[in-house]
Amino acid sequence: MKELLNSPLAHVCFTLAVFILSKKLQAKYKSPLLNPILITIVLVISFLLLTDTSYQDYERNTQVISFWLAPSVIALGYALYSFLGEIKADFKKIIISMIVGSLTGIVSVFITAYLLGASKATMISLAPKSVTTPIAIEVSKEMGGIPSLTVAFVIVVGVLGAIFGQTYLKLIGVNDPKSVGLSLGATAHALGTASISERGPDFSAFGGLGMALNGVLTAILAPWVIKLLLILLY
């Protein structure tokens, strides 16, 4: 029984079942707190702790799920292609908003963490938090952060963005697919983009664009901004 519980079959079945059920729950009650990603993560962690299973085992057993993460990022290229006309029409504004967004994102997280007494390594690990994992890892490693901690922050930002992002944007009156997609894609990468994919293909397309542009810009800008901030603060 113990071996069966710690098999790819059992872990994949459990993960899929919990995810499908929590999606149904959200469809029924429509509360942002009932986010399927959050519920599934919490329930899977509880299940692993209860069955005394290590994360390494779970990670290995569910590779059949996480394998599709990269192809789903590539699929955003298809979504972008469908809306290329609209992107070209607004190109300048999109680029400006993404440069400002990337810079304010890095500076604000760094300064806030500094003021609240975080350690230097934590601050550097936080800086690339808004971009997809592979880019975030590279920036963190290069600047003296802790890559695995950065991965944790990337996930936290993604989950928070997926849960509260849409509600907050509604509050400040941002509702059109372009603005919502770019904001959430730039703030909460693929998880933010996934959270709005149900609102239509135009939302996914701009989410993907926000995520890609913010990723590229952060990869280029973050090392310089971090260097400058470290000189100014220490």
Site for other proteins in 166-195 (CB under 8 A): 168-169, 172-174, 176, 178-180, 182-184, 186-188, 190-191, 193-195
Q: Provide the mask over 26-45, with x wherever binding to other proteins is found by CB under 8 A and - wherever it is not.
A: ----------xx--xx--xx
Name, in order, each residue with C-beta under 8 angstroms of 206's C-beta and a sequence gap of 6 or more. 83, 177, 178, 180, 181, 182, 185
Q: Does 143 bind other proteins (CB under 8 A)?
A: no
CA dihedral 158, 164, 170, 174 (to 10 degrees): -20
Window 71-90: residues binding other proteins (CB under 8 A):
71-81, 84, 90
Give the whole-angstrom CA distance, residue 219 versus residue 211: 12
The SS3 of residue 118 is coil
Q: What is the CA radius of gyration of the chain?
A: 19
CB of residue 3 vs other proteins: minimum separation in angstroms?
A: 20
- 48 forms part of the interface with other proteins (CB under 8 A): yes
Which residue in 124, 129, 225, 229 binds other proteins (CB under 8 A)?
Answer: 129
Q: Given candidates 135, 143, 225, 226, which one binds other proteins under the rule CB under 8 A?
A: 135
Nearest approach, Cβ of 207 to other proteins (angstroms)? Answer: 9
User: Does 212 help bind other proteins (rule: CB under 8 A)?
Assistant: yes
Among the listed ranges 1-9, 24-32, 209-217, 226-234, the one in contact with other proteins (CB under 8 A) is 209-217
Stretch that binds other proteins, among 1-9, 24-32, 69-77, 224-232 (CB under 8 A): 69-77
Closest distance of CB 232 from other proteins, Å: 17
Instruction: List the one residue from 98, 124, 143, 217 that touches other proteins (CB under 8 A).
Output: 98
Contact assessment for residue 55 and residue 63, using Cβ atoms and an 8 Å cutoff: no
Phi-psi region of 139 (alpha: psi -120 to 50; beta: other; left: phi over 0): alpha
Q: Does 6 bind other proteins (CB under 8 A)?
A: no
Helix axes 36-50, 8-29, angle to 10 degrees: 140
How many of the other CB atoms lie within 10 Å of CB of 191?
26
Running DSSP on this structure, what letter comes out for residue 33?
G
